[in-house]
Amino acid sequence: MSNLSSLRGRIRWDLAIMVASACLLFSLSIIFQDKGEKAMDISWAFFKEMAFVLPAVLVLMGLFGVWVDRRLVIRYLGEGSGIGGLLLAIVLGTLPTGPLYIAFPLAGMLLKKGARVANVILFLSAWACIKIPQELVELRFLGWRFTALRLGLTIALLVPMALLAEVVFHRHEQESALSPGGG
Amino acid sequence: MSLTAVVIDALVAVCLVLSLLKDREKTKAAILIAWNALKRLAPSVLAVIAVIGLIVGFIPAKWIASSIGSESGMVGALVAALIGSVLFIPALIAFPLAKSLLDMGAGVMAVAAFITTLTMIGFVFLPVEIKELGRRFAFLRNGLSLVAAMIIAMIMGLVLG
């Protein structure tokens, strides 16, 4: 699989960016003493915050990964249809962990197994942006009001978006033979 | 250490103890997953922390405020949305970055657009998505996500801005 090698490449790339930005921060801070002090203080403050929150969030992700069986997710999503299926797609998308590129093959399999397009889009979107451990970090840095409003709006908009995508998808794909499934 | 951080740490500690009581091996595996994720994330976390220092320390706040501040309106939000679509930093790390941008005078609208596109749209992953799900599906999902992000951003800007 090319996924693994591209992952390695990304980590190397991340390392390079880390070294470059750290060097830039240190050298600028030494050249411009007064501004540099503020910059270093800010970075240090954020470092401390991350040090307190990040390990806990990652442990939570690990626990999800171990206790929530991915095969279960596939099975229920594949069968899901109607409003229950849509809700299930969102809820299941929030539970498992891992980056989006793990979810793409899963979603592809779901599509091939005959899951609704809307369900698959909801699943992917929920996977991408409403993961529970991730939200703890959003809560910490952006506050209750921002987090709650953004999550609420996201869920409220995802459902019509997924249904619209499904209609467009079917109209183009099966123009002649099948009509988009209404029930 | 903030109250929210204490609550989060306590919550996770409870989950960890429950998991440990139920199954030692699974808990060990979970911690191993967390450790590997930490190793994978550490470089970008540190890079973003340095970038936050650079932005706050060396970029004048009025630049941020004029380019993506609340005065910049839809254009600022669109700029932030496009940046969010292209960047591939994990959302976990983007939240502190968003916080420091807000502190420097960026608008709620722009920051909401930035975060939403960052999580839902990934130009870097587009080839993978096309390969796994097909061109039509990928373009539809990403396009509609961009529209949704802009709507979310607009409403958030109106409510919280």
pLDDT digits (tens, 9 = 90+) for A105-127: 778 877 877 788 888 999 888 88
Packing angle of the helix pair B135-160, A117-129 (nearest 10 deg): 50
Reported pTM: 0.77
- Selected residue with higher pLDDT from B19 and A54: B19
Residues 13-52 (A) with a CB less than 8 A from some CB of B: 14-15, 17-18, 20-22, 24-25, 28-29, 32, 35-36, 38-40, 42-43, 46-50, 52
Cα–Cα dist B72/B160, whole Å? 15
CB-based contacts of B151: which residues, under 8 Å, 6+ apart? A153, A157
Tell which phi-psi region holds residue A42, choosing left (phi > 0), alpha (psi between -120 and 50) or beta: alpha
Cα–Cα dist B56/B34, whole Å? 30
From chain A, pick out residues whose CB is under 8 angstroms from the CB of B160.
145-146, 149
CB-based contact A14:A25 (threshold 8 Å): no
B72 CA to chain A: closest CA distance, Å? 19
Residues 55-74 (A) with a CB less than 8 A from some CB of B: 55-63, 65-67
Using the Cβ of A113 and the Cβ atoms of chain B, whether some distance falls under 8 Å is answered with no
A8 CA to chain B: closest CA distance, Å? 10
What is the structure's pLDDT at B144? 93
What's the mean per-residue pLDDT of chain A? 80
Where does the pLDDT of residue A38 fall: very low under 50, low under 70, confident under 90, or very high at 90 and above?
Answer: confident
Give residue for tokens 């109607």: A82
pLDDT beneath 50: ranges in chain B: none
3-state secondary structure of A178: coil
What is the structure's pLDDT at A49? 84
From chain A, pick out residues whose CB is under 8 angstroms from the CB of B47.
14, 17-18, 20-22
- At B141, list the tokens: 């999902």
Q: Smallest Cα–Cα separation from B132: which of A87, A107, A16, A113? A: A107
Size of interface A-B (CB pairs under 8 A): 231
- Selected residue with higher pLDDT from A147 and A15: A147
pLDDT in tens, A12-29: 777 888 899 899 998 999
Within chain A, residue ranges assigned H as helices are 2-31, 33-67, 70-79, 82-94, 100-112, 117-129, 132-173
B53 CA to chain A: closest CA distance, Å? 4
Q: Check pLDDT > 80 for residue A69.
A: no
Where does the pLDDT of residue A143 fall: very low under 50, low under 70, confident under 90, or very high at 90 and above?
Answer: very high
Q: For residue B106, which phi and psi values (nearest 5 degrees)? A: -65, 150
Residue type, B19: S
Give residue for tokens 């997953």: B33
What is the structure's pLDDT at A8? 67
What is the structure's pLDDT at A52? 87
Q: What ipTM is given for this predicted complex?
A: 0.80
Question: How distant is the alpha carbon of residue A10 from its chain centre?
Answer: 17
Q: Smallest Cα–Cα separation from A119: which of A146, A101, A92, A95? A: A92
Q: Check pLDDT > 80 for residue A72.
A: no
